[in-house]
């Protein structure tokens, strides 16, 4: 720790001229220091103004305004003697996050709930369970849309057994996310810590906490098996940038957090790939990059508006070079169809003009003649998923998007105005 305090030395015999000289030097130094501080303040103010302007024009205005999980110190402890590192990490993650995770029971008044007699009057009966986690001190809880879909009320149970009734604040079918809210009075809420999607990598150790098979407070662990997956949503659109994990995800885990070894949320557990609706080592989580954009909008206005280009495309492979009249070393996306009346159509993006009998079906598209996208806003793209990920992470309806395309052998830039994603 630095100590900036000083104790002045006393002198009873310092000559007057020396005192005057020291005083003048001191005044000069103060003036120079003040000038330096002023210059630094002006430069900092100028930089701050630029940064503020950039922030104001960003695609995450709502996310920037809305309350996010408050800053909380991440606890990283060294393993005690006799305990291996992985055990110590998982124990620390559980102790840090379990109190933030809740069990959610969906309640409904309609008749015909499987396994229960028909309700009378306004009697609420359970028909599904899932998980969720505390987002902020106001009582907002994040979960999956499919966990709360069809519910009239929701029962939220915390790790200490205390329960509350929650109302739905907002849902988004396209990302399968939902926000519900309890009255926070009397609850010692512990919001989660949000992680950074850019720090997620294949092989990273992860943990999931949730309510599989109604077994509350269950911890499972594994690794990130893949990133950048596109998984189906509850709408006609996929969820890009999703995280694949071999941590055990089972029915009831939906809506719970996927955590890194620091106990930070990097995803919302949503799906499993299994023939028997049980863990097969392939689970998927909605990435925190999408969660951070969608959740604040659901809290503020009850819905999230996704951006829309209006194209369908295919990833280009070198084996398709002759059929597509492109160099084998090129990388990018072949535009196959442009949706009539959509942003891409209005901007003049060209879809495929003819059908072809590809010698490599399943690898090469059966159409040709459309634009070939090589970059989005100056960033190179190699796959169609690259475009979807960029749209999901960084854009909103009304933003301008610049596509770098090859058309008839010439490179062009096409600027389109993104629209709101249609319901279909």
- Give the separation between CA 50 and CA 42, rounded to whole angstroms: 12
The C-alpha angle with vertex 214 and arms to 210 and 218, in degrees rounded to 5, equals: 35
Alpha helices in 70-113 (DSSP H): 85-97
Q: Which two tokens stand for residue 53?
A: 């302007």
- Give the separation between CA 191 and CA 148, rounded to whole angstroms: 20
Q: Is 139 helix (H, G, I), strand (E, B) or coil?
A: coil
Q: Is 22 helix (H, G, I), strand (E, B) or coil?
A: helix
- Give the separation between CA 248 and CA 222, rounded to whole angstroms: 8
Q: Which two tokens stand for residue 240?
A: 């890009």
Catalytic residues: 146, 176, 254
- Give the separation between CA 200 and CA 418, rounded to whole angstroms: 28
Q: What is the 3-state composition of the chain as percent helix, strand, coil, each rounded to the nearest 5?
A: 25, 30, 40
Residue pair 235/211 in contact (Cβ under 8 Å)? The answer is: no
Residue pair 205/249 in contact (Cβ under 8 Å)? The answer is: no
Count of beta carbons in the 10 Å neighbourhood of residue 340 = 9
Q: Please state, in angstroms and as integers, the Cα–Cα distance from residue 221 to each residue in 66, 86, 205, 248, 259, following that order.
A: 32, 10, 8, 7, 9
Residue pair 112/118 in contact (Cβ under 8 Å)? The answer is: yes
Q: Is 160 helix (H, G, I), strand (E, B) or coil?
A: coil
Query: Which position has the token pair 């009873």?
Result: 12
Q: Where are the beta strands (DSSP E) in 246-397?
A: 257-259, 264-272, 283-287, 307-308, 311-315, 333-338, 354-355, 367-368, 372-376, 379-380
Based on the number of CB atoms within 10 Å of its own CB, is 321 exposed (0-12), middle (13-18) or buried (19 or more)? middle
Identify which of 98, 94, 103, 100 has the alpha carbon closest to the alpha carbon of residue 213. 103
Exposed e or buried b for every residue in 372-382, given b needs 16+ CB within 10 A?
Answer: bbbbbeeeebe
């Amino acid at each position: 720790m630095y100590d900036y305090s000083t104790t002045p030395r006393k002198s009873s015999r310092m000559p007057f001229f020396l005192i005057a000289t020291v005083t003048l030097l001191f005044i000069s130094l103060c003036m120079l220091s003040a000038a330096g501080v002023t210059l630094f303040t002006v430069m900092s103010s100028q930089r701050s103004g630029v940064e503020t302007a950039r922030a104001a024009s960003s695609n995450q205005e709502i996310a920037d305004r809305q309350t996010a999980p408050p800053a909380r110190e991440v606890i990283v402890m060294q393993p005690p003697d006799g305990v291996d590192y992985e055990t110590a990490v998982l124990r620390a993650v559980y102790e840090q996050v379990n109190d933030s995770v809740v069990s959610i029971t969906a309640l409904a008044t309609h008749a015909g709930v499987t396994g229960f007699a028909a309700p009378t009057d306004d009697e609420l009966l359970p028909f599904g369970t899932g998980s969720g986690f505390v987002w902020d001190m106001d009582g907002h809880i994040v979960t999956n849309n499919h966990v709360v879909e069809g519910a009239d009320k929701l029962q939220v149970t915390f790790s200490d057994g205390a329960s509350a009734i929650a109302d739905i604040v907002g849902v988004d079918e396209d990302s399968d996310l939902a926000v519900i809210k309890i009255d926070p009075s009397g609850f010692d809420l512990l919001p989660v810590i949000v992680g950074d999607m850019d720090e997620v990598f294949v092989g990273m150790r992860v943990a999931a906490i949730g309510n599989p098979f109604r077994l509350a407070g269950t911890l499972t662990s594994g690794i990130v098996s893949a990133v950048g997956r596109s998984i189906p949503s509850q709408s006609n659109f996929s969820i890009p940038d999703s995280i694949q994990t071999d941590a055990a995800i089972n029915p009831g885990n939906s809506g719970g957090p996927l955590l890194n070894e620091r106990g930070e949320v990097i995803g919302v557990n949503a799906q499993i790939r299994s023939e028997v609706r049980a863990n097969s080592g392939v689970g998927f989580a909605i990435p925190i990059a999408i969660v951070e954009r969608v959740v604040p909008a659901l809290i503020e206005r009850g819905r999230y508006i996704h951006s829309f280009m209006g194209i369908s495309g295919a990833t280009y492979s070198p084996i398709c070079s002759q059929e597509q009249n492109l160099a084998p070393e090129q990388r990018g996306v072949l535009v196959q169809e442009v949706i009539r009346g959509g942003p891409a159509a209005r901007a003049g993006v060209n879809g495929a003009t003819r059908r072809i009998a590809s010698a490599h079906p399943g690898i090469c598209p059966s159409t040709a003649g459309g634009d070939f996208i090589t970059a989005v806003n100056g960033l190179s793209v190699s796959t169609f998923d690259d475009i979807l990920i960029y749209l999901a992470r960084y854009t909103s309806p009304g933003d301008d998007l610049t596509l770098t395309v090859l058309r008839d052998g010439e490179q062009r830039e096409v600027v389109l105005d993104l629209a709101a994603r249609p319901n279909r």
